[in-house]
Amino acid sequence: MSQRSPHQAARGIWSGLTQGVEDRPGMATVGVLGVPFDGGVSFRSGAAAAPARLRELSNHLARCADEGQPLTVSVRDHGDVPVDLEWTRYFGMVEARALDVLGHPFALFLGGDHSVTIPLMRACDRAWDRPFGVVHFDAHPDLFDSHSGHRWSHACTERRALELAGLEPERLIFVGLRSIAGQEWSFMENHPEMRWYSARECYRRGMEAVAEEVVEALGDLGAVYLTVDIDGLDPAFAPGTGYAEGGGPSTRDLLELVRPVCRELPVRAMDVVEVSPPLDHSDITSFAALKVVYEAWYGVQQRLT
């Protein structure tokens, strides 16, 4: 009788890591919440379909990290925040649901466009009684005060985050930038304490060196939020996203950032946003996002065990 491969043995949502936690929801290491909302986009939509597609594809992944190490974290999937077309009410619902998920040692939020990070970070500001840091992987800094007439646009994510009591500009670090609008550039020039790494710098210096500096910069904090906009990757590795920008890091580069950050820093929450399955080809972007999620989980597993 032939043996089953690790891929065959791992079938089930999140590779079966949810098994055994149904009756003990508070005991899971990881809590997952989907936010299927893309009403904050300024170009191509489709990111609302990402939570469902990522869950579906997770059924086919081996339960392991990048080099084959077994993943042993337990996962509780809290489902999705049902979409409400009234924007203020919906973001209030997202914030409330996120507070529950933040009770886990690690929270994973699945967008949706990058505007959903606004209520998610508000929840963190309420849940974490301490200053916190943010690592923002993205092609764009999202520092518009308003965009297309909206202060909650996906282009305003970090501008709204900097209004929170727990986040100081020097604790916000951008990685992978290569598209900065004039308004954003002016804001960055007025706040030189914000640290940022362009995609070119990541390429020339190497992501390992960048990750080391990120860890050093935020190492004295009690909590860190990692937000991963999949358009931070080069479109060759993530074609399924609304605002693709050429010249970005590879999936390999991003994995070299995520694992040490989640292993060495107290990353308590992470989101993956702007994955747009309708714009994707052969699920390239969704599989890249899932690889990033599993590497983050392995980093957390190393830190907590």
User: What letter does residue 120 receive in the DSSP assignment?
Assistant: H
Number of domains in the chain: 1
Domain for residue 57, yes or no? yes
Residue 24 lies in a domain: yes
Task: Give domain status of residue 120, yes or no.
Answer: yes
DSSP 8-state assignment for residue 66:
T
Residue 34 counted as domain residue: yes
Q: Which residues in the chain belong to E strands, given as ranges? A: 30-35, 75-80, 106-111, 133-137, 172-177, 195-198, 224-229, 267-273
| CATH number reported for the structural domain that contains residue 300 in this entry | 3.40.800.10
Q: Is residue 255 part of a domain?
A: yes
Q: What is the pLDDT of residue 154?
A: 66
In a domain? residue 1: no
The pLDDT of residue 127: 96
pTM here is: 0.93
Q: What is the pLDDT along the chain (305 residues), one digit of tens a residue?
A: 334 444 444 467 999 999 877 666 567 999 999 999 887 566 677 899 999 999 999 999 999 999 999 999 999 999 999 988 888 999 999 999 999 999 999 999 999 999 999 999 999 999 997 899 999 999 999 898 766 767 667 688 989 999 999 999 999 999 999 999 889 999 999 999 999 999 999 999 999 999 999 999 999 999 999 999 999 999 999 999 977 889 999 999 999 999 999 999 999 999 999 999 999 999 999 999 999 999 999 999 999 98
Range of the domain at 58: 6-304
Q: How many angstroms separate the CA atoms of 4 and 230, rounded?
A: 33
276 within domain boundaries: yes
Query: Does 132 map to a domain?
Result: yes
